[in-house]
Structure 1
Amino acid sequence: MEDGLEVRPFTRSCARVLARGEHALIGVSAGNGYFTQERLTQLLRWAGRRFAHIDVLHTDLHLDTMHRAGGADEEQAARRTKRSLRDVRRRIRRALEAVGAVPGHLRSLALSETVGLPGYRTVRDRLEREFDTNARVRGACEAHVGKLLGGGAAADDARFRAGLAYLHAELPFLLATPEVLGVPSSVCCYHDLLPVVEQLHDEGSCFHTGQAHAVVRPLTRDGRP
């Protein structure tokens, strides 16, 4: 328990990377009501004391595709995407303003701003090859999307394809942030452990040795997560 947060590294290796405190990646999903300004502020204050560098990353790719796959027409999808991105960016901005100066170097990134980085392209290409040739990687990705969609979407369903495209775009950060951003090690801080991370954390062909994951979430008033 730290600063009113439960901090739970996924593995012993993750705990060692967390203790190094070199870099934290805080992923923020657009349209996810969990990420209130207050929660983001609390998380940023904690990270600012624990890490030398912090990146707040929000996903702004494939959202319109997800909306269309869910039944929205092109105009509705564009409107919903614009609204959700405006909201998430406002919450991040206000959280950064509330935190003010923190010991760690702090910046906010959109996923679209990183896809041109050499590290991102290298990792993305490698993971795409693994998806095509490694049955375990493909199975983990498909199981992840199926679980998030509630198990009701088939592999050839539009929602499933959209979910898979969304996952492929963020997967380099889930499995190899150090290589993407050129940092020695990184802890992905999220309020839950993602299924694809559980499945692939020991897959040497995908998972960077300096990549860690930690569940970080506020405690309730009775001191429970």
Structure 2
Amino acid sequence: MFEIEPLTERCRGLMPTAAHICIGVSPFNGYFTGPRLLRLAEWALRRFPHVHFFVPDTAAAYTLEALGYPPERARHKAQRQGRYVHNKICTALRELGVRDPDDLVLGMERLQRTPHYTNLLGEAHRRFRRDDGFRAACLDACHWVLDQRMPPGTGPTEEQLRHAVRYFLAELPLFADAGGIAGHSPSFFVYHHRVAFLERFFGRELEWWPADGQGFLVVRDRTMDGAGARRPAGAAVTGEAPGGDH
């Protein structure tokens, strides 16, 4: 059903003892269809004792603002899409017999009430302000996404990148220690693409790296059908812009 690839050898070493998985589900990404979410949930619940889905719902407004949406419109659109994605995940979990599916979904409001998340978020912002190499890597992770949405022959401005990077920084605590945030370790964060920043992050090439018990799995649906299937690496992890409302 799925091709499963640990991002690094260090990640591979966590596989026998992993107790938790956190599946990243990007707003506005057509890859995450209802049937695919059902298959992901079924696989995760069968393989791991503890499962969460991460939806960076309201944080998606940062990318929309970078693309020119007025802040109020960006927030409304992000919240609306976040509810839509949240409901799709819960529908899949209910179909699999999960009694309280909302408990397994980590949205931004819930995370912002979680001290370990907020501490890691503060660390991500401190690193971004003070570490030139880390800042450059984060901005580069956002550059490609905005490039795909700019008029031909143009690229994102520094101001646009500064807007968009707030989305990426909001995700970073989950990459750094999803298990610590959820209270279960060792843990894997899961996405369906390799991302250059995360290869460096999990490869310990930057000045900040994940917790010892945190890994990353690239989990690809072998069917690879759906609107998001052929998107190049990194498109949605860093806040891909929408194709339409739901």
TM-score, reference length from structure 2: 0.78
Determine helix, strand or coil for the equivalent of 1:83: helix
Across the two proteins, how many residue pairs are aligned to each other? 214
Measured in 1, the distance between the counterparts of 2:119 and 2:220 equals: 32
Determine helix, strand or coil for the equivalent of 1:149: helix
Cα gap change, 1:41 to 1:128, in 2 (>3 Å) = same
* 8 Å Cα contact 2:8/2:199 also seen in 1: no
1:170 counterpart residue number: 171
* 8 Å Cα contact 1:119/1:182 also seen in 2: no
Q: Pick the aligned partner of 1:210 from 188, 198, 213.
A: 213
Measured in 2, the distance between the counterparts of 1:57 and 1:150 equals: 25
User: What amino acid is the match of 1:112?
Assistant: E
2:213 counterpart of 1:220? no
Instruction: Report % sequence identity.
Output: 29
Deviations 1:42-85 (A, max 9, x none): 11111112111001111122333432332334554344224312
Measured in 1, the distance between the counterparts of 2:57 and 2:29 equals: 13
Deviations 1:161-186 (A, max 9, x none): 22111111111001222332332221
2:52 counterpart of 1:55? yes
CA RMSD of aligned residues (A): 2.3
User: What amino acid is the match of 1:110?
Assistant: G
- Listed as ranges, the gaps of 5+ residues in structure 1 are none
Cα gap change, 1:24 to 1:63, in 2 (>3 Å) = same
Identify which of structures 1 and 2 has the higher relative contact order when contacts are C-alpha pairs closer than 8 Å and 6+ apart: 2
- Listed as ranges, the gaps of 5+ residues in structure 2 are 149-154, 225-229, 231-246
2:200 counterpart residue number: 199
Cα gap change, 1:134 to 1:67, in 2 (>3 Å) = closer
TM-score, reference length from structure 1: 0.85
2:241 counterpart residue number: none
Q: Pick the aligned partner of 1:39 from 36, 40, 63.
A: 36
